[in-house]
Amino acid sequence: MALIKSISGIRGTIGGKSGENLTPEDVVKFVAAYAHWIKTQNPKKTYSVVVGRDARISGEMVKMLVNATLTGMGIDVLDIDLASTPSTEMAVTHFNADGGLILTASHNPKEWNALKMLNSDGEFLNAEEGESILKIAENGTINYTSVDTLGKVTSANYHEEHIRAITKLELVDVTAIKEKKFKVVVDGINSVGALIIPDLLRALGVEEITEINSKANGHFAHPAEPLPENVKATCEAVKKHNADLGIVVDPDVDRLALIDENGVMFGEEYTIVAVAEYVLQHKKGNTVSNLSSSRALSDITQKAGGQYFASAVGEVNVVAKMKAEHAVIGGEGNGGVIYPELHYGRDALVGIALFLSHLAKLNTTVSELKKRYPEYTIIKDKITLSPGLNVDKLLEDIAKVYHNEKINRIDGVKIDFSNGWVHLRKSNTEPIIRIYCEAPTAQEAHELINKMKENINNSFTN
């Protein structure tokens, strides 16, 4: 079992010993540190924090601990309960709150949960802010409030407001979507996607919706990460119901995976590519994704007359780069669409709305749409490290070997070749190097990644 403390939040398995798992004691400790940090950002009389959660089994228990701790710190709680991650992010600014806590372990199995922390803009904390909270938790003395200044808990809802905000977007064409009379299969993975996605589709004019894994009870019907090997039953359901599209999300609805009318995965890497093509057709500008995302986004951006920029891996890094480069669309290759016209956060819901608008206006099928984009194969692999290995030196050695190629060092080492790229980065949570590789064909991708592994293994022995 595990407890992982990082600048991006606290996640761990429920039960076991405190300090080694995400126990009630650990929840209180880190929420109190977050509350203390909130108060240091803007000294004033009253504070409020939005709390939302996915539907995993431990969610209600963790929420009660979180709400009690926040009120014990003198902070009012706006409890929106079962809500997607993007809904919680947007609720922070909607309610003019001082921050937000999302209780979700994203695509991790049901025994996991996590505390994901937001600032007053409804965005994830940056590295410096996250590090400050970790230091407060480990070293600081927390002062809880007196009985006369306890916070209060108020139930709130942002479900309908989120959907309404999406339907009002200029590039979301509800009329075009409604006219196409799409048939859609939704796999809500027994979490909050099962609650909000069907409502979104109905608001977009989609009337024929087949819902599977639709009970938001946290008993995930399949592994929660929306990968092809995990959603075979969903692919079969698309074919069985003669649907035009299948939609699969992770438990907190920030990642979007799509299935074509033949029951074939569209490819998570291509979610942002398709949505970006549509946005760039109507609004000229730049795009951003992280270093481990498909080159296809760069290709279509340049074709549309914009500039593509790469960030370090992690949503907070993508968002910072998008703001710096004034990107009109961005995201991550795991199906995370970030559309600034709505908010700066990965949002499967706005991804669905923009994708359906694109599909409707082109009057085409999902499989034909995929043929519009450059075809690449991505391989994701890893190498286990030997104890005491100097990973930074190893990565530096690899960069020297390929000094004649285009090298990016903002997050590990990314090497761009004429026929593809390889990205090496050390894990913050495991003794491994992650290796991501992309090329036009599977054979070329395997050749690139095998050559890179050979170079790494040679560095081990030198």
Domain that holds residue 187: 165-370
- 367 catalytic per annotation: no
Out of 319, 336, 370, pick the residue that ends a domain.
Answer: 370
Q: Considering only CA atoms, which of 196, 198, 197, 420 is closest in space to residue 294?
A: 420
Q: Considering only CA atoms, which of 397, 377, 382 is closest in space to residue 453?
A: 382
DSSP percent split of the chain into helix, strand, coil, nearest 5: 40, 25, 35
Global confidence as pTM? 0.95
Residues 150 and 197 in one domain: no
Residues 244 and 299 in one domain: yes
Contact 102, 52 (CB under 8 A): yes
State yes or no: pLDDT of 305 exceeds 70.
yes
The CATH number covering residue 124 comes to 3.40.120.10
Give the pLDDT of residue 430. Answer: 67
State yes or no: pLDDT of 141 exceeds 90.
no
pLDDT tens track for 332-372? 988 999 999 999 999 999 999 999 999 999 999 999 999 99
* C-beta atoms surrounding 364 within 10 Å: 14
Give the pLDDT of residue 279. Answer: 98
* C-beta atoms surrounding 319 within 10 Å: 25
Give the contacts of 183 (CB within 8 A, at least 6 positions apart).
208, 210, 241, 242, 243, 244, 245
State yes or no: pLDDT of 19 exceeds 70.
yes
Task: Name the 3-class secondary structure at 290.
Answer: strand
The CATH number covering residue 457 comes to 3.30.310.50
Give the pLDDT of residue 390. Answer: 84
Residues 113 and 209 in one domain: no
Residues 350 and 405 in one domain: no
Residues 73 and 169 in one domain: no
Catalytic residue among 106, 132, 294, 298: 106
Phi first, then psi, for residue 269 (nearest 5°) are -60, -25
Please provide the average confidence, as pLDDT, over all residues in the chain.
94
Residues 79 and 125 in one domain: yes
Q: Considering only CA atoms, which of 147, 153, 65 is closest in space to residue 113?
A: 65
Residues 201 and 346 in one domain: yes
Task: Name the 3-class secondary structure at 378.
Answer: strand
Average pLDDT rounded to a whole number, residues 156-160: 95
Q: Considering only CA atoms, which of 103, 99, 105, 104 is closest in space to residue 125?
A: 99
Which pairing describes strands 377-384 and 336-338: parallel, antiparallel, or unpaired?
unpaired
Give the pLDDT of residue 118. Answer: 97
| Residue 426 pLDDT level (bands cut at 50, 70, 90) | confident
Helices then strands, counting H and E runs in the chain, come out as 15, 20
**Helix 127-139 vs helix 24-41: angle between axes, to the nearest 10 degrees?**
120
Residues 358 and 388 in one domain: no
pLDDT tens track for 56-114? 999 999 999 999 999 999 999 999 999 999 999 999 999 999 999 999 999 999 999 99
Out of 319, 346, 370, pick the residue that ends a domain.
Answer: 370
Give the pLDDT of residue 6. Answer: 80
Out of 157, 191, 223, pick the residue that ends a domain.
Answer: 157
Structure tokens at 76: 């009012």
Whole-number percent of the chain with pLDDT over 70:
98
Residues 312 and 453 in one domain: no
The beta strands (E) that lie in 312-392 are given as: 327-332, 336-338, 377-384
Residues 141 and 267 in one domain: no
Burial of 280 (0-12, 13-18, 19+ CB in 10 A): buried
Q: Considering only CA atoms, which of 257, 251, 275, 258 is closest in space to residue 340?
A: 275
Residues 150 and 229 in one domain: no
Give the pLDDT of residue 81. Answer: 97
**Total of domains in the chain:** 3
**Residue 174, phi-psi category: left (phi > 0), alpha (psi -120 to 50), beta (remainder):** alpha
Residues 360 and 383 in one domain: no
The beta strands (E) that lie in 30-182 are given as: 48-53, 76-82, 99-103, 112-118, 153-155
Higher-confidence residue of 457 and 284: namely: 284
**Which residue, chain included where needed, has tokens 């710190």?**
73
Instruction: Look up residue 140 and give its amino acid.
Output: G
